[in-house]
Amino acid sequence: MSAETAEEQDLFEDVDLRGIKIRGWLFHAFCLVAALFGVVMLAMLILDVLWEALVGFAIGLDPITFLTSTAHRDPFSAGFIAAIVGSIWLMVFTVIFSMALGIGTAIYLEEYAPDNRVTRLIEANLTNLAGVPSVVYGLLALAVFVNAMRLGPVILAGAIALALLVVPIIIVASQEALRGVPDGMRQGSAAAGATQWQTIRQVVLPAAFPGIMTGTILALARAVGETAPLLMVGVVLESGLIPGDPFSRFAAMPTEIYYWAFRPVTEFHHLAAYGIIVLLTVMFSMIASAVYIRNRYERIR
C-alpha cells in the first residue's frame, strides 16, 4: 500500500505546475481588471459630469434659471427650457411614427409573412438598417424631408429621422414579444373560428403588449439622446424660442449640450454638465419604467 503511494509521488515529481498556476492567476487578474474597467469608467463619467456641474454651481450658475429660461449669449442667464420642450415635441412624434411602423412590420413578419424571398429580403434589410450610422439618417431627412419636400428644418423632420433610426430596435423587440406568445393561444382562437386579424388583435397583441412597450420605451430612451441626426436636419443651436407646434424650428436637449460643450468658454461647459444631468435623468427614468413594466408583467404571467 505504502509502496504504491511512493510510486505515485515519483510519477508526478517532475510535473511543475507553478508556471501554469501563475499564468492562470495572471489571466484571472487581467480578466477581472478588464471587467472592472467598464464599471470604473462609468463611475468616472458620472462623477466627472457631477463635478463639472458642481463647479458650475460654485461659480454662480443658477439651476432654477437653467431650468426655466431659454438659451442666451450670457451663460449666467442661459437655460434649457426650449431644448426640453423641443425634445418633448420630438419624442411625441417619434413615438407616433416609429410605433406604427415598427409594430406593424413586426406583426407582419411574425404573423403573416410567408417564408419566401421577399420576407428574407425584408429581414436582411432590417439587420442592415440597424447598422446604418445615425448621421446618415440625418442626411436622408435633410435631403428628402427638409429640402425635397420643402418641410424645412422643423420638429417633424427631426422626428422622422429619429423614428426611422429606432424602428429596427422596436421591430426586433416586438418580434421577440410576439414570438413569446404560445402558439396554443393562436390555435385556440383559430379553432373558435376567428380570422387571423381577430386572433392578433384580441389574443396575440394583448399578450405581447408588455414586451412591445418595454422595447418601445427603450428605443425612445435611445432616441432622446441622439444628436447627430438632429444636427444634420438643422437645429437652432442657441434656441431662444420655445417651439409651439411641430412645424417650428427647434433645439433638442442633446444638440444644446453639444453646442455648449463645443464652445471654448468654460462657463458653457458647466451648463453642458447641467444639461447632461437633465438628459440622463430623463433617460434613466425611461429605462427604469421599461424595466418596471417588464418585471411586473413577467411576474403576472
For residue 70, give the C-alpha cell.
Answer: 431659454
Distance of CA 206 to CAs 174, 181, 217, Å?
12, 10, 17
**Is 32 an interacting residue with respect to other proteins (CB under 8 A)?**
yes
Cell matching residue 297: 408583467
Q: Read off the DSSP letter of residue 59.
A: T
**Residue whose cell numbers read 411614427:** 97
Q: Which of the stretches 71-79, 85-93, 188-196, 209-217 binds other proteins when contact is defined by CB under 8 A? A: 188-196
Question: What letter would DSSP give residue 192?
Answer: T
Stretch that binds other proteins, among 65-73, 74-82, 85-93, 276-284 (CB under 8 A): 276-284
Binding part of the chain for other proteins, among 75-83, 209-217, 220-228, 243-251 by CB under 8 A, reads 220-228
Cell 445615425, residue? 134
Instruction: State the Cα–Cα distance between residues 177 and 257, nearest whole angstrom.
Output: 35
Q: Minimum CB separation from other proteins for residue 267, in Å?
A: 13
Q: Are 160 and 149 in contact (CB under 8 A)?
A: no
**In whole angstroms, how close is the CB of 90 to other proteins at the nearest point?**
14
Q: Which of 8, 182, 206, 285 binds other proteins (CB under 8 A)?
A: 206
Contact characters 62-91, other proteins, x per CB under 8 A: ------------------------------
Among 85, 156, 257, 271, binds other proteins (CB under 8 A): 257
Q: Name the residue nearer to other proteins (CB basis): 2 or 128.
A: 128
28 binds other proteins (CB under 8 A): yes
Nearest to 231 by CA among 157, 128, 148, 149: 157
Footprint of other proteins on residues 41-60 (CB under 8 A)?
A: 41-42, 44-45, 48-49, 52
The span of 63-71, 75-83, 177-185, 266-274 binding other proteins (CB under 8 A) equals 266-274
Which one among 63, 81, 88, 135 touches other proteins, defined by CB under 8 A? 135
For 51-87, letters b (16+ CB in 10 Å) and e give ebbeebeeeebeeeebeebbbeeebeebbbbbbbbbb
- Asked if 133 touches other proteins (CB under 8 A), the answer is yes
Which residues 8-27 are close enough to bind other proteins by CB under 8 A? 20-21, 23-24, 27
Q: Which class for 171: exposed (0-12), middle (13-18), buried (19 or more C-beta within 10 A)? A: buried
The span of 70-78, 164-172, 174-182, 208-216 binding other proteins (CB under 8 A) equals: 164-172
- 3-class DSSP state for residue 227? coil
